Structure 1
Amino acid sequence: MERKEAVTMKGNPLTLVGPELKPGDKAPAFTASAQDLSPVTLDSFKGKKKVFSVTPSLDTPVCDMQLRKFNQDIATMDNVEVINVSMDLPFAIKRFCTTAGVENAVAVSDYKDASFGEAYGVLIKELRLLARAVFIVDENDTVVYAEYVPEATDHPNYDAVVAALK
């Protein structure tokens, strides 16, 4: 499934591959890679609220701030796991997290199969990057919040994410 002109990057329309998830949908299964290359799946966070922070690349200012903000403001909440997903290589993610002091959030890579990107409808066909988005998935693996940021260089609605967790 392709969604043409679903988002833009610097004003240029882009195609997203995969479904558009909405609150009430069952969270799709996926397999991504941890920083040590081991598999990370939806079941890796079973029984917890999950905030999936999706970023095009941690080496850009907005993505950097998004992960730092969620690491600081949300990842310290009880029974909430923040998982940043990008197409960055696991080694680059590890370097970024070490340098940025990201200790509360988990950062994973979708570089291998774009499994998360296709399942959550955030894979940018033209660039093979992930579109900026935020999903909150409850303890029963139901999507309770979904934000596809229309312009990839803009920030997500941080206040709405925090409010949705309360």
Structure 2
Amino acid sequence: MPNATALLDDPILVEDELPAVGQPLPYFQLVNRELEDVALDAFAGQRKILHFFPGIDTPTSANSVRILERMALDLTNTAILHISPDLPFTMARFCAMESLPQCMTLSTLRGRDMLKNYGVLMMTSKLAGLPARAIIVADENDRVLHVELVKDLVMEPDYEAVLAVLPA
């Protein structure tokens, strides 16, 4: 059964189910800023925050990246993966302009199937085909600890809920 998000209260169906707490993360392979393929196992042994968003050039997405990167300064052994359909060059330019040198951006340039596998692919609205705004947190063993599909794309995720499952 599809989930739903919204854009300014206009409902948007999201394909498939998000991973449930306790389940393992599905495998993925995406593209980093050097245009290299990067898979889930590249982050083996680390806690993970998967931050999905429709595009870096929106105020909400940009602010979410900034906030999560500030949070990262207080987290140990945690990889924050900012995942969007943006070209790797676009995301790298954003991170450089924002002075976020550790920012790990991953593009769905190759690996779009991840959006469906993770239950974040928007199916309806003018934004169909893009990822919904979502956060998935996993432990060092790739077990899901927290999942949030943001109710409206103009809203930011619940950062406190993320921190609650990832003690510093």
- Range into which the TM-score falls when normalised by the shorter chain: over 0.9
Contact 2:19 / 2:118 at 8 angstroms: preserved in 1? Answer: yes
- Coordinate RMSD, CA, aligned: 1.5
Contact 1:75 / 1:81 at 8 angstroms: preserved in 2? Answer: no
Which position in structure 1 is the counterpart of 2:55? 57
Which position in structure 2 is the counterpart of 1:143? 144
Which position in structure 2 is the counterpart of 1:109? 107
The TM-score, its normalising length taken from structure 1, stands at: 0.92
Contact 2:95 / 2:103 at 8 angstroms: preserved in 1? Answer: no
Q: Secondary structure at the match of 1:52?
A: strand
Which position in structure 1 is the counterpart of 2:96? 98
Give CA-to-partner distance per residue, 1:94-144, whole Å, 9 cap, x none: 111111112233111113331321111101123211101111111111001
Give, in whole Å, the separation in 1 of the partners of 2:69 and 2:113. Answer: 23
Give, in whole Å, the separation in 1 of the partners of 2:134 and 2:73. Answer: 17
Which position in structure 1 is the counterpart of 2:36? 38
Which position in structure 2 is the counterpart of 1:7? 5
> Could you list the runs of 5+ residues in structure 2 that have no partner in the other structure?
none
Measured at CA, do residues 112 and 12 of structure 1 come closer, stay the same or move farther in structure 2, by a change above 3 Å?
A: farther
Letter in 2 for 1:154: M
Give CA-to-partner distance per residue, 1:25-74, whole Å, 9 cap, x none: 11000111101111111111000000111111111111111011111112
Q: Secondary structure at the match of 1:69?
A: helix
Letter in 2 for 1:162: L
Give, in whole Å, the separation in 1 of the partners of 2:74 and 2:117. Answer: 27
Deviation at 1:76, TM superposition (A): 4.5
More strand by share: 1
Deviation at 1:18, TM superposition (A): 2.9
Report whether the alignment pairs 1:69 with 2:82: no
Deviation at 1:75, TM superposition (A): 4.9
The TM-score, its normalising length taken from structure 2, stands at: 0.91
What percent identity do the matched residue pairs reach? 29
The size of the alignment, in residue pairs, is 164
Which position in structure 2 is the counterpart of 1:28? 26
Deviation at 1:83, TM superposition (A): 0.6
Letter in 1 for 2:133: R
> Could you list the runs of 5+ residues in structure 1 that have no partner in the other structure?
none
Contact 2:28 / 2:111 at 8 angstroms: preserved in 1? Answer: no
